[in-house]
Amino acid sequence: MMTQTSSLVRSSFREITINHPLWNHEFLIRCRTGNLFLPDVQLLAVQMYKFSKEFNRILASILSCCQDESSQLVILENLFDEMGEGDITQSHPELFRQFTRALGIDDETLTALPTSPETRALIETYLQMPHKYGYLAALGAVCYASEGIVSSLYTQLYKGIIGAAPLPREALIFFEVHIDLDDSHAAKLEAVIEPRITMNEEDIKVKLAIAEAMDARVQFFNGIQRQISKYSLYPDSWLIFDELL
């Protein structure tokens, strides 16, 4: 009976992400149809980096609100993976910088470029979740609306990127790692979350957190589209960054 209940809980959480409007976003459709250009990929890369480099803080913010030791361990394992398992050259932000460098964006420029309001809102959405809904619901958002969708989401982005900018494989390691790795992260987080959904109130909070994270992700891509529309007038992609700085 417990297994059946867990399965229903898992399915109800996944349905929120599967049926979400995110997957019909114009930018993702452009990725799937191979309709991206180099400046589009550069704009995407900058804002993706701004979010991905904050993911350690997001996990740490959940950890700081979590009193359950077995849950702490799973969060720590996830955080350890994100930080390259102790090797800073393999940390996920560093893997992402290999991608941005290959796109012609040096580290200094990447740091100087502003975080868009939509990207900042996505970061803040995740950072505020443990305080707003509790650690369990915040883990649910990371599990289902981040780790759980990353394989599908990044596969679509990857297709758009390589269509617009044929890059060496080592420049795309960040995407390959996440397409392969995040399913196992999601499975471990699921194993923590499901047995602890013992009241309807907790179930509702997890669903609210997942939906809020998915909505913020849509806004993130709205921000990318807004920047593309604003700067598509400039044929020289470097003018994009001159304008943004």
Is this structure's pTM higher than 0.85?
yes
Nearest to 98 by CA among 206, 80, 151, 90: 90
The region, left, alpha or beta by phi > 0 then psi within -120 to 50, assigned to residue 104 is left
Please report the DSSP string for 216-237 in residue order.
HHHHHHHHHHHHHHHHTT-SSH
Neighbours of 243 (CB within 10 A): 12
Q: Which class for 180: exposed (0-12), middle (13-18), buried (19 or more C-beta within 10 A)?
A: exposed
The token pair at 147 is: 């780790």
Cβ density class 195-207: b for 16+ within 10 Å, e for less: ebbeeeebbebbb
- Helices then strands (H, E): number in the chain? 13, 0
First-last CA distance in the chain: 58
Walk along the chain (245 residues) and give the pLDDT tens digit of each residue.
Answer: 344 456 677 789 999 999 999 999 999 999 999 999 999 999 999 999 999 999 999 999 999 999 999 999 999 999 998 888 888 888 999 999 999 999 999 999 999 999 999 999 999 999 999 999 999 999 999 999 999 999 999 999 999 999 999 899 999 999 998 887 656 778 888 988 988 888 898 999 999 999 999 999 999 999 999 999 987 655 554 445 555 54
CB-facing half-sphere around the CA of 233: CA atoms within 13 A? 4
**C-alpha angle 116-147-167 in degrees, rounded to nearest 5:** 65
